[in-house]
Amino acid sequence: MDWFKDDQNQFKHIIHMPKKRTRKCMGFWMLCLWTARLAKCHVWWFLVNGVPVRYSLWEHGLISGLNNREYPENHTDLGSLNFVKRLFNGRDSGIKLSEVEKQLTAMIACEDRLKMVVLYFLASMMKTHSKSPEVIEHFLLRIVDNLEECKKFPWGRYTFEDSSHELEHMFERFKGEVRKSWTFPGFIVPLEVI
């Protein structure tokens, strides 16, 4: 846990939050119903009591405390798959969150366990998807091999772009209608705060 609470770590504001299996998203849902559509990409305007509320990368970074600088050059090649291959019998894709959790509970305290904790955190909090929520994205499997790069990576930009993509997808799918149930995957905490 010390790795997450380090003053240089951008996750220190998130790690103390209580973990909930399902989030209470009624406020977020109300924002979505009152969203003003603009041609400008990655800037969202929500209307609250007739007052426009802007939500962009800047606000996302302020609310979440995550780094939202530009991606480093060749960011998709950061880290390596050595750690994942070593712990998952040579596999480097199709690894599920449940497998990481099982592996994590069986491990003793060591650097590999810290990497596994970071992988579990990133896959369960920062990047989840509705189509295959269990399968962990390849990029996350790579980056956890280098914890220093993981600390410096612009997770704010990463989570904002993912949330923007999911918002766009949700608006296209629902076409302004309220549904009985819905899932919004990804890092939703800053949107809940608004």
Residues 54 and 92 both lie in one domain: no
Residue 48: band (very low, low, confident or very high) from pLDDT cuts 50, 70, 90: confident
The dihedral through the CA atoms of 186, 187, 189, 194 has a sign that is negative
Segment 125-146 mean pLDDT: 80
- For residue 153, count other CB atoms closer than 10 A to its CB: 23
Residues 144 and 81 both lie in one domain: yes
Residues 19 and 81 both lie in one domain: no
The H-or-E segment that residue 44 falls in is strand 43-48
Q: Rounded distance, CA 165 to CA 44, Å?
A: 12
Segment 134-141 mean pLDDT: 88
Which residues span the domain enclosing 184? 1-71+154-194
Residues 117 and 184 both lie in one domain: no
pLDDT at residue 33, rounded to an integer: 63
Q: Cα separations (Å) of 190 from 6, 39, 56, 133?
A: 21, 23, 11, 20
Q: Is the pLDDT of residue 154 over 90?
A: yes
Query: Domains in the chain: how many in total?
Result: 2
Residues 172 and 107 both lie in one domain: no
Q: Is the pLDDT of residue 124 over 90?
A: no
Q: Rounded distance, CA 177 to CA 171, Å?
A: 9
47 in helix, strand or coil? Answer: strand
Residue 30: band (very low, low, confident or very high) from pLDDT cuts 50, 70, 90: low
Residues 113 and 89 both lie in one domain: yes
| Cβ 110 vs Cβ 175: under 8 Å | no
* % of the chain beyond a pLDDT of 70: 67
pLDDT at residue 167, rounded to an integer: 77
Residues 84 and 44 both lie in one domain: no
Residues 144 and 164 both lie in one domain: no
* Closest C-alpha to 73, from 157, 153, 158, 137: 153
Q: Is the pLDDT of residue 178 over 80?
A: no
The H-or-E segment that residue 158 falls in is helix 155-174
| Cβ 164 vs Cβ 187: under 8 Å | no
pLDDT at residue 16, rounded to an integer: 56
pLDDT at residue 119, rounded to an integer: 92
Residues 126 and 139 both lie in one domain: yes
pLDDT tens digits along 5-21: 565 667 655 655 555 65
pLDDT at residue 143, rounded to an integer: 92
Q: Is the pLDDT of residue 129 over 70?
A: no
Residues 127 and 165 both lie in one domain: no
Q: β-strands 43-48, 51-56: how paired?
A: antiparallel
pLDDT tens digits along 158-170: 988 888 887 777 7
Residues 163 and 102 both lie in one domain: no
Residues 147 and 159 both lie in one domain: no
